[in-house]
Structure 1
């Protein structure tokens, strides 16, 4: 993630100076799942991937996504319907085998360039407009800290997470009322 280019201001006659150390090719990848379960608050579960990894990769592999799905499954304790974009690790043979081995996992692949159907894109947009907007980061660690802080705040904003789902025009399945509540 890189902050968006923006305009700045200064006093008339004084040219603003923004010091940037070095344009680096380092980046931060974040895998996030917006979780919606009937009759429960929405959740955001994420994993950042720093710019340096022991295996030399610069982004997530299919194994990282597999581990994230396993974590989500343990936290949600139920079947998962996963809506994915066409990111290459999502389409690998290893990921397909992993999906086939899990009977409580159903995956729907979004069509190419369907950003408006992915709730996580709305979350990314909120993050870019709030936490990372109008900021020059001192280094990769500063960027990672800011993104983690922003995602941690979003985890507790269920209204924002629900709004990201509403923005896709998708909706939750209506919750079923338990029988013990109907009797009262």
Structure 2
């Protein structure tokens, strides 16, 4: 399972399975099988095959060892629950007059409450993972053109 828990990441079994596939690729590279053919034989992407090939050339089989569990999570489950409670209170309760949550405002709230830094994009991913998609607004990107007007 790609995201086995709320925080994402791979299970130990899935990491071990992927490591076995990388080792099979290393054996194939050692047997002078080209990355595109390795990709076809192992059912992986060509991009992965070429990345693994480059690692293998630099560091041998050892370069393809699993790096272990990694969690990109910055907030604990308890902090996430507190964040959601704060978001439920609304932006106005936290000092924003128009009452709208934006990714920047949520990032500021997280920094203030938990002393953890998030980018606006990171906040968007976090809120999506928490099921808040569509419940906040991202700033509109300006292209320099007004809607409905051509470039003529």
TM-score by length of 2: 0.24
Task: Specify which structure has the higher proportion of strand.
Answer: 1
Question: Which has the larger share of helix?
Answer: 2
Higher relative contact order (CA 8 A, sep 6+): 1
